[in-house]
Amino acid sequence: MRKLSDFLIATVAGVCALVAVGILVGLVAVIAQRGAPAMSWSFFTEQIRLVGAAGGIFWNLVGTIILLVAAFLICAPLALGLALVERVYLRSERMRRTLRTVLYTLNGLPSILFGLFGFIVFVQWCGWGKSWLIGGIVLALSMLPTVTVALIERLKAIPSKYVEAAAALGLSRAQIVWAVLLPQAWGGLITGSLLGLARAAGETAPIMFTATIFAGATLPTAIKDSPVLTLPYHIFILAQDSFDPAVGSKLWGAALVLLGLVFTLSLIALPSRLKIHEEADV
């Protein structure tokens, strides 16, 4: 009897795992299968024509990358500052906990709220219109908690003996930060940023009011009124409006490219994340 329930539980759990993994792998397979016909060199190098029915997604890809680079450059110093303050410069444990709580809470905030924030403050109040920079700021804010938390965890994992040894050698606090903490934390910054960027790459809601349009933009030339084309927004608009069969495989193709971008960013972070896991799983 007990053996039976043992077997049943194992089976049920196994089925669940199979179904869960199966659904997720399955949907990637569907996208790959439907998007494959659209993959060609010209798809990547041409721009959209005929409202998505012809041409390629070159500028969409460029625009997404521009936003991601901007987001990283804005987010990195802010995350570093926050992490250092939390680990090194804050004295009281309560303040630290409060800061961490704030970060965790903000991590769960829907991205559309960041988009509305960007719309109100930058598009309207600052009068910038739609701009790639606003997209960068908004995405940076939305990835900030992820990157900061990753950095803090990484800094926490640095064995205290390194810090103690450095202090014993007479290094000042600033020197300790630069000589000991930051070089080790660099990996955490990259890993956290890649994870944040992977998520940011697929975001539509924060950029649709602030940074992107459907057709006509190439490289931004200024800050004001300089939107970009992006992959997620392209897919979003066409998903609602596409009935034209010609658009069909190109739409899936764009989805596949976006998926590829997101997965690549996640996968680059993989080795260092595996290392952290191994260190933690001791």
Region 48-77 residues binding another protein, contact defined as CB under 8 A: 49-51, 69-70, 73-74, 77
Per-residue contact track with another protein, 197 to 216, x per CB under 8 A? -xx-xxxxx--xx---xxxx
CB 4 to another protein: min, Å: 10
Stretch touching another protein by CB under 8 A, among 36-44, 47-55, 153-161, 184-192? 47-55
Member of 154, 232, 250, 253 binding another protein (CB under 8 A): 232
Kindly give, in sequence order, each residue whose CB lies less than 8 Å from that of residue 155, ignoring residues fewer than 6 positions away.
83, 84, 87, 181, 184, 185, 188
Cβ closest to another protein, residue 42 vs residue 105:
105
Tell whether residue 32 is a contact of another protein (CB under 8 A). Answer: no
Residue 158 near another protein by CB under 8 A: no
CA dihedral 108, 114, 116, 120 (to 10 degrees): 140
Of 95, 109, 126, 157, the one binding another protein by CB under 8 A: 109
Q: Is 189 in the site for another protein (CB under 8 A)?
A: no
Beta bridge partners of 131: 226
Residues with Cβ within 8 Å of residue 28, at least 6 apart in sequence: 259
Q: By three-state DSSP, how is residue 119 classified?
A: helix
* Rounded distance between C-alpha atoms, residue 142 and residue 130, angstroms: 18
Of 46, 65, 153, 242, which lies in the binding site for another protein, with binding defined by CB under 8 A? 242
Interface residue with another protein among 29, 102, 157, 165 (CB under 8 A) is 102
- How many residues bind another protein (CB under 8 A)? The answer is 115
Q: How far is the CB of 163 from another protein (least distance, A)?
A: 15
Neighbours of 13 (CB within 10 A): 10
Q: Is 179 near another protein (CB under 8 A)?
A: no
* Distance of alpha carbon 264 from alpha carbon 270, whole angstroms: 10
Q: Is 169 in the site for another protein (CB under 8 A)?
A: no
> Exposure pattern of 53-83 as b/e (b: 16+ CB <10 Å)?
bebbbbbbbbbbebbbebbbebbbeebbebb
